[in-house]
Amino acid sequence: MPPVTTRSNTEPRLSRPVQVAESIKDWVVAEGLKAGDRLPGEADLIVRFGMAKGTIREAMRILEAQGLIKTRTGPGGGSFVHEVSRERAKALLGNYFFFKNLTIGDIYQLRLTLEPELAASLAGNLPEDVLQLLERNIAQYSRPARDLEEERAQHVASLRFHAILAEQARNPLLGFVIDFMVKLLSDLTVYRRLYSPPNIELWQQGHDHQKALVKALRDGDADCARAIMTDHMETAWKLMRQQEVEVQNRFISE
Amino acid sequence: MPPVTTRSNTEPRLSRPVQVAESIKDWVVAEGLKAGDRLPGEADLIVRFGMAKGTIREAMRILEAQGLIKTRTGPGGGSFVHEVSRERAKALLGNYFFFKNLTIGDIYQLRLTLEPELAASLAGNLPEDVLQLLERNIAQYSRPARDLEEERAQHVASLRFHAILAEQARNPLLGFVIDFMVKLLSDLTVYRRLYSPPNIELWQQGHDHQKALVKALRDGDADCARAIMTDHMETAWKLMRQQEVEVQNRFISE
DNA sequence: ATCTATTTGTACGTATGTATT
DNA sequence: AAATACATACGTACAAATAGA
């Protein structure tokens, strides 16, 4: 089995905490530990690695930052293997794109192909309560917004529709990517400029698409769901392009 | 401007190092620091935050683990804002999928739609040296492998073809996702079972596809490039399905 | 090549906080 | 309520790395 840490020897040597963190990762996989399993305590690790408390603690912080462990105080406390949460994964990936400046078009290029794929795969596979959740979500923006603030709230809510679908994906990769794009679009806080009036017609179309989509999903009509979602993505993109938008990147936390 | 750290007050309180790390992130964006800019030194941070050395160091380790800073010792050293590298981002995201067990099919569902999209967008936009790089890459597996080891090497090399394309993407999101999937496939070390003989024919088809693709890319024929890539993905998937494969997840480092 | 100044890295002892029993 | 078992935080001292004189 190839070592987990494959590293060229020209790079600057790794700091000890990083080395320790890597060793612990290796140890966890070697030991076959799963989420929830307990790691050796601080004191234990100190003697095992023959290193100072601070070094061990820094190593744990590294693992924690990557979302791989959680730590609790008190008796029975300690560090525990933790399945990286989707939120954490999205946040970490968001930091990467913080420096690239993505355009709305970049995101929609992917949405345009992936969201219809997701919709098709979900047709006939959603439990009734999820379908109802989708319908309740749609109800939040059944009428055009009256002011800019409400418009923004509706926009975020309509994105949430897609996040709900993404959560239901059978394909974890597909679900994650779509969920992440929804997050990007939500974070890119959008301020519509005053001189570009809201396009009520397009907005209404988007709303109708979502209603029709829920029906297709309930009926199990995959082809129909795919077609509707394709239309929906196209109008959504058109809507975004028409509104002059101001994009604001930011770091993501926790 | 909304605070970066929006947090419900029911969750367990955040540890100080995490708080410090968040504060530093906020400070960096507020200050408008860019990659390469220097952060205050350890000693400085200790007095600014009124906290102990260890606490500050743990905070820095958190930021470092996320790929947001790099630290150097010596005069003129210190911590510097760092653009999260693609490698780091892929590794962090890989940890997330370590716990989900992705199937080859999951990955190909996305590749099947995204790779053709990328190919089309690159047609006519690649500099000659990249095209030659692609051709040299193809040459590595122009003949069928003679043993299992060589076969595996060829498989990884043929994946590299797609990584090269992904690097050239104008759309950073599209490029990243494809690159990440290539990484997943490379990491999923594949051992062909002995009783399933290599399908020389399909392999040859894949090779021919790549050659034809480079031609289409050079000629600037987007539609042709898209069509070839679609075919290529389909045969690649077929190839994967035919070979009984054993998948091995692992943590990813650095 | 050697020294020196600067800045991070490591070590360790002690005290405090926190949750379980 | 008290004892226990953990992590958390602090402060000092010293070691290592690196740039520049």
- The reply to whether A77 Cβ lies less than 7 angstroms from strand C is yes
Instruction: Determine whether the interchain pair A99/B106 forms a contact, defined as Cβ–Cβ distance below 8 Å.
Output: no
pLDDT of residue A131: 94
pLDDT bracket for residue B84 (50, 70, 90): very high
What Å value separates CA A78 and C1' C13?
A: 22
Query: Which bases of chain D come closer than 7 Å to a protein CB?
Result: 4-13, 16-20
* Average pLDDT estimate for A211-233: 93
User: What is the C-alpha to C-alpha distance for residues B37 and B24, in angstroms, rounded to an integer?
Assistant: 13
Q: What is the pTM of this model?
A: 0.88
> Touching check for A25 and chain B: CB below 8 Å?
yes
pLDDT bracket for residue A6 (50, 70, 90): very low
pLDDT of residue A42: 84
pLDDT in tens, A92-122: 999 999 888 888 889 999 999 999 999 999 9
Residue B246 clears pLDDT 50, i.e. is over it: no
Listed residue (A130, A214, A136, A196) closest to A164, CA to CA: A130
DSSP 8-state code for residue B38:
B
pLDDT of residue A171: 95
Of A2, A7, A58, the CB nearest to B61: A58
pLDDT of residue A132: 93
Could you identify the residue whose CA is nearest to the C1' atom of nucleotide D3?
A: A75
pLDDT bracket for residue A236 (50, 70, 90): confident
Alpha carbon of B115: minimum distance to chain A alpha carbons (Å)? 11
Cβ contacts of A253 on chain B, cutoff 8 Å: 4-7, 22, 25
Lowest pLDDT segment from A34-38, A90-94, B209-213, B228-232:
A34-38
User: What is the C-alpha to C-alpha distance for residues B235 and A76, in angstroms, rounded to an integer?
Assistant: 53
Listed residue (B30, B26, B24) closest to B42, CA to CA: B24
* Average pLDDT estimate for B55-73: 90
Could you identify the residue whose CA is nearest to the C1' atom of nucleotide C4?
A: B75
What Å value separates CA A52 and C1' D15?
A: 13
User: What is the C-alpha to C-alpha distance for residues B2 and A248, in angstroms, rounded to an integer?
Assistant: 11
pLDDT bracket for residue A202 (50, 70, 90): confident
Strand partners, A66: none
- The reply to whether B12 Cβ lies less than 7 angstroms from strand C is yes
Cα separation values, B42 from A26, B17, B52, B73, Å: 30, 13, 10, 11
pLDDT of residue B182: 94
In single-letter form, the type of residue at position A75 comes to: P
- The reply to whether A15 Cβ lies less than 7 angstroms from strand C is yes
Burial category of A246 from C-beta neighbours within 10 Å (exposed 0-12, middle 13-18, buried 19 and up) = exposed
- The reply to whether A52 Cβ lies less than 7 angstroms from strand C is yes
> Touching check for A222 and chain B: CB below 8 Å?
no
Of A2, A102, A109, the CB nearest to B117: A109
Cβ contacts of A88 on chain B, cutoff 8 Å: 96
Please give the residue that has the higher pLDDT: either A57 or B8.
A57
Please give the residue that has the higher pLDDT: either B93 or B77.
B93
pLDDT of residue A10: 38
Find the residue in A nearest to B34 (Cα): A99
pLDDT of residue A190: 56
Name every residue whose Cβ is closer than 8 Å to that of residue B68 and which is 6 or more positions away in sequence.
A95, A251, B25, B81, B82, B84
Q: Structure tokens of B193?
A: 């079972």
User: What is the C-alpha to C-alpha distance for residues B254 and B87, in angstroms, rounded to an integer?
Assistant: 8
pLDDT in tens, B117-140: 999 999 999 999 999 999 999 998
User: What is the C-alpha to C-alpha distance for residues A249 and A190, in angstroms, rounded to an integer?
Assistant: 11
Please give the residue that has the higher pLDDT: either A1 or A62.
A62
pLDDT bracket for residue A168 (50, 70, 90): very high
Mean confidence (pLDDT) of chain A: 83
pLDDT of residue A3: 31
Residue A184 clears pLDDT 70, i.e. is over it: yes
pLDDT of residue A121: 95
User: What is the C-alpha to C-alpha distance for residues A116 and A121, in angstroms, rounded to an integer?
Assistant: 9
Cα separation values, B76 from A36, B39, B103, Å: 43, 11, 48
pLDDT bracket for residue A11 (50, 70, 90): very low
Mutate to test the interface with B, among A11, A251, A252 (most CBs of B within 10 A): A251
Burial category of A192 from C-beta neighbours within 10 Å (exposed 0-12, middle 13-18, buried 19 and up) = middle
Listed residue (A61, A139, A115, A135) closest to A225, CA to CA: A115
Residue B170 clears pLDDT 60, i.e. is over it: yes
Instruction: Determine whether the interchain pair B62/A57 forms a contact, defined as Cβ–Cβ distance below 8 Å.
Output: no
